[in-house]
Structure 1
Amino acid sequence: MKTYQQNGNHNFLIINQKTLKKVLVDNVVLLKGDVNYTTIYLRYGIQKVVPRSIKFFESFLETHGFLRVHRSFMINPNFVKTYNQEQDILVMINGQEANISRRRKHTIKSFVV
């Protein structure tokens, strides 16, 4: 992943075999990891699948306020729609659900509530 700053906006590049895609960090709703692949969910329903683990993005996105809520999910707290405390699930503005691990539940409550 390459990162760069342009006019105060933070972006990163998604590099696949034949394409380069510029993604504005502020448009990322959540990341969902599945072994060595990560699906990046953007505003307006756009999804990008990248052949990288979620750990690859973690250190960069944490500096932009993202939270790792589960080993498979990293969220942008600005896009949380609801928090289901009974099931420990965050519902994002795009309808995606992110599970919250027991270990990270207390940290999430302070950001969301």
Structure 2
Amino acid sequence: MKLSEINNPEEIVFLKGVVNYTELYLDNGTVEVSCTTLKRYEEKLSGFLRVSKSHLVNPKKIVNVATLAGQRYVELRSGNRVPVSRRKKSIIKTALGI
């Protein structure tokens, strides 16, 4: 999937950066791989939250923010858990009104 092919960002649950590639996790359960960096997606998808160095999350898909074994994470409607870095914790709290 190319950056220009994103017609409906609402279908994206979260994105995971892997070196110079990005994995896009979609509502329908599929994972698309793109040769575009996560930073480029962050610039294109305003409103998405950068929760760690390698994760960008659609805030409309977050159902819970929790801590497990000392690691904070966001739980998504899809059932996925995405880790939240210590430095991004306050951004998540502000964005979600926690």
TM-score bracket, normalised by the shorter chain, equals 0.7 to 0.9
The list of structure 1 runs, each at least 4 consecutive aligned residues, that deviate by more than 6 angstroms after superposition, is none
Paired letter, 2:15? L
For normalisation by structure 2, the TM-score amounts to 0.85
Question: Could you give the per-residue CA deviations for residues 31-74 of structure 1, whole angstroms, max 9, x where no partner exists?
Answer: 01111111101112121011222112111112xx1011111000
For normalisation by structure 1, the TM-score amounts to 0.75
| Structure 2: unaligned runs, 5 residues or longer | none
Distance (Å, rounded) in 1 between the aligned partners of 2:82 and 2:52: 8
How many residues align structurally? Answer: 93
Q: Percent identity?
A: 33
| Structure 1: unaligned runs, 5 residues or longer | 3-12, 14-21
After superposition, the CA RMSD in angstroms is 1.4
Report which of the two structures shows the higher radius of gyration computed on alpha carbons: 1
Once the 2 structures are TM-superposed, how far is the Cα of residue 91 of structure 1 from its aligned partner?
1.2
Question: Residue 16 of structure 2 aligns with which residue?
Answer: 32
Say which structure, 1 or 2, has more relative contact order (CA 8 Å, 6+ apart): 2
- Give secondary structure in 2 for the equivalent of 1:106: helix
The structure in which a higher percent of residues are strand is 1
